């Protein structure tokens, strides 16, 4: 959500601040999450393990880097190519946000798979997971729009998110290592909220 | 019985008279609309018709006209936007960002009939209201584009278009387009200005934003004229690529232009002494950039 809130700010120098720019961003985030859920769920069928799980965080961080490093290089050709800022912002959102967001979307279903031990508890587990992740989203939205933009530069906030993602991935790996690869997944839900 | 009826009729007549008097001293709402960006209201009090944005949140009038004297400009800040003429007396390519009721472009079109005027407005609904209630009309010389100001300016820069008079009036209303406050934006504006062109920006005179904005303009343009009137809450920034002319030149220019501006009610002769280059802001404030531009948050403090 932090990235989504900053998304409009990043696009506005090229595509303006009209309502359609927000529309583009939200659309692409929703579609990316939808794909992420599907793929994450699919991947969880295949020997689910905390290492793969940790990789989601790290991959999301890695694919967020272009937003920081190459935003202008991505937006400029799109700006030149597409006259209408509605479609310009839509394509820019696809190129910048789709991949990292869909990877973040994979985390939720994969978490469910790792955390659920019995069928009876699956609903409760999923509920708790959605609770934590949605609270995290709310915190990210509020923190970014109320305070972070007042204190930091956009790229500094993005770096913060990248570091948080990498740290989360590393925590998962560490916990997994400490518990020696056994039933280690109890704590992972705590990291979910970073998304 | 009959006398009763008579007094009843009299009472009605009396209340009708009172009502009609009330309505002439209170605002009559001509039009209300919720557009994509704001609530738009058009009211009329006596001979004064006004466009208001977000009236429920206590916004000020955007544009007013006198229905019996369409040329005369009602607000100080609209009149103040002509102060740029002291530096660029004969503009031929004019860009106005923010239409409002359209009084400013109409006045420019009237003053400089051969000048090409581009007006940018993000909200189609504002264009409709300006045409319907404020006598605004496009013509061969003057056209409106419904687009975000920054997008237009970036493209104009790529097409190598130049303007010699740019009015930036996108900041009235309670949401500030933060991407049009930044150093990068002002650089883009600079790139579409002719060498002797002038930028007239209607900006904020209160709140922390005043300092941030001032240091940003200073970074991009160097010294600029800060134009404030005791009767107005607005501050107009007047910037140029060239070094600013001495006051004597402004006075001479004012003397030769003043008559032309009389019918709009612009007291041009009073303006030169109000244009100041004195730094009255906190120079240590952070410059606004595309990376750091929390204009809406800064305004509240």
pLDDT per position as a tens digit, A31-60: 999 999 999 999 999 889 999 999 999 999
Task: Please give the residue that has the higher pLDDT: either B206 or A2.
Answer: A2
Answer left, alpha or beta for residue B199, where phi above 0 means left and psi between -120 and 50 means alpha: beta
> Best interface-test mutation with B: which of A148, A149, A159 has the largest number of B CBs within 10 A?
A149
Over range A119-126, report the average pLDDT. Answer: 89
Residue B32 has a pLDDT of 87
Instruction: List CB contacts (< 8 A) between B297 and chain A.
Output: 146, 149-150
The list of chain B residues with pLDDT below 50 reads 1-2, 23-24, 301
> Best interface-test mutation with A: which of B124, B189, B292 has the largest number of A CBs within 10 A?
B292
pLDDT per position as a tens digit, A103-120: 999 999 999 999 888 888
pTM value is 0.85
> Would residue B148 show up in a list of annotated catalytic residues for this protein?
no
Q: A191, A57 in Cβ contact below 8 A?
A: yes
Q: B275, B200 in Cβ contact below 8 A?
A: no
Residue A2 has a pLDDT of 81
Contacts of A56 (CB under 8 A, 6+ apart): A40, A103, A104, A106, A107, A110, A169
Task: Please give the residue that has the higher pLDDT: either B242 or A189.
Answer: B242
User: Which residue in the list B169, B195, B196, B290 is annotated as catalytic?
Assistant: B169
**The complex's ipTM?**
0.81
Task: Flag if A154 and B297 touch (Cβ within 8 Å).
Answer: no
Task: Flag if A154 and B151 touch (Cβ within 8 Å).
Answer: no
CATH topology of domain B75-299: Rossmann fold (3.40.50)
Task: Report the residue from A13, A19, A85 with minimal CB separation from B179.
Answer: A13
- How far away is chain B from the Cα of A105, in angstroms, using its nearest Cα? 27
Confidence of residue A185 (pLDDT cuts 50, 70, 90): very low
Instruction: Pick the residue from chain A with its C-alpha nearest to B295.
Output: A150
Instruction: Pick the residue from chain B with its C-alpha nearest to A68.
Output: B291
Q: Answer positive or negative: Cα dihedral of B10, B12, B13, B17.
A: positive
Q: A54, A172 in Cβ contact below 8 A?
A: yes
Task: Flag if B292 and A14 touch (Cβ within 8 Å).
Answer: no
Residue B223 has a pLDDT of 95
Instruction: Pick the residue from chain B with its C-alpha nearest to A12.
Output: B179
Task: Flag if A13 and B150 touch (Cβ within 8 Å).
Answer: yes
Task: Report the residue from A15, A16, A149 with minimal CB separation from B294.
Answer: A149
CA distance B15 to B260: 47
Residue B271 has a pLDDT of 94
Answer left, alpha or beta for residue B111, where phi above 0 means left and psi between -120 and 50 means alpha: alpha
């Amino acid at each position: 959500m932090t990235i989504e809130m900053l998304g409009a700010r990043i696009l506005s120098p090229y595509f303006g601040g009209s309502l359609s720019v927000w529309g583009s961003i939200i659309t692409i985030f929703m579609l990316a999450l939808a794909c992420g859920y599907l793929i994450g769920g699919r991947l969880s069928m295949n020997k689910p393990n905390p290492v793969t799980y940790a990789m989601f965080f790290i991959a999301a961080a890695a694919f967020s880097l272009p937003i920081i490093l190459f935003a202008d290089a991505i937006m400029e050709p799109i700006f030149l190519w597409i006259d209408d800022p509605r479609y310009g912002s839509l394509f820019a959102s696809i190129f910048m946000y789709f991949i990292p967001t869909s990877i973040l979307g994979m985390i939720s279903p994969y978490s469910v798979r790792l955390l659920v031990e019995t069928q009876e508890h699956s609903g409760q587990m999923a509920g708790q997971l959605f609770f934590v992740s949605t609270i995290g989203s709310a915190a990210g939205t509020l923190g970014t729009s109320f305070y972070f933009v007042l204190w930091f530069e956009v790229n500094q906030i993005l770096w913060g998110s990248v570091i948080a993602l990498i740290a989360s991935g590393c925590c998962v790996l560490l916990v997994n290592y400490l518990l020696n690869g056994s039933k280690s997944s109890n704590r992972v839900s705590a990291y979910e909220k970073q998304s | 019985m009959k006398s009763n009826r008579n007094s009843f009729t009299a009472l009605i007549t009396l209340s009708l008279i009172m009502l009609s008097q009330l309505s002439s001293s209170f605002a009559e709402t001509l039009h209300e609309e919720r557009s994509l960006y704001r609530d738009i209201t058009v009211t009329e009090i006596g001979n004064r018709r006004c466009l208001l944005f977000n009236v429920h949140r206590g916004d000020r009038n955007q544009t007013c006209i006198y229905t019996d004297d369409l040329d005369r400009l009602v607000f100080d800040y609209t009149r103040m936007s002509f102060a740029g003429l002291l530096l660029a007396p004969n503009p031929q390519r004019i860009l106005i960002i923010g239409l409002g009721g359209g009084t400013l472009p109409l006045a420019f079109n009237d003053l400089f009939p051969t000048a090409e005027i581009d007006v940018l407005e993000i909200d189609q609904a504002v264009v409709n209201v300006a045409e319907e209630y404020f006598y605004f009309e496009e013509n061969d010389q003057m056209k409106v584009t419904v687009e975000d100001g920054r997008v237009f300016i970036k493209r104009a820069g790529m097409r190598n278009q130049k303007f010699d008079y740019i009015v930036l009036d996108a900041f009235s209303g309670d949401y500030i387009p933060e991407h049009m406050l930044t150093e990068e934006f002002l650089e883009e504006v600079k790139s579409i200005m002719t060498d002797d062109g002038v930028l007239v920006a209607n900006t904020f005179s209160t709140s922390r934003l005043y300092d941030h904005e001032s240091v940003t303009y200073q970074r991009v343009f160097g010294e600029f004229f800060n134009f404030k009137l005791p009767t107005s809450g607005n501050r107009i920034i007047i910037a140029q690529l060239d070094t600013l002319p001495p006051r004597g030149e402004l006075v001479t220019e004012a003397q030769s232009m003043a008559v032309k501006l009389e019918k709009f009610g612009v007291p041009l002769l009073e303006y030169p002494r109000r244009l100041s280059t004195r730094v009255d802001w906190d120079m240590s404030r952070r410059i606004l950039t595309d990376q750091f531009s929390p204009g809406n948050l800064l305004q509240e403090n």
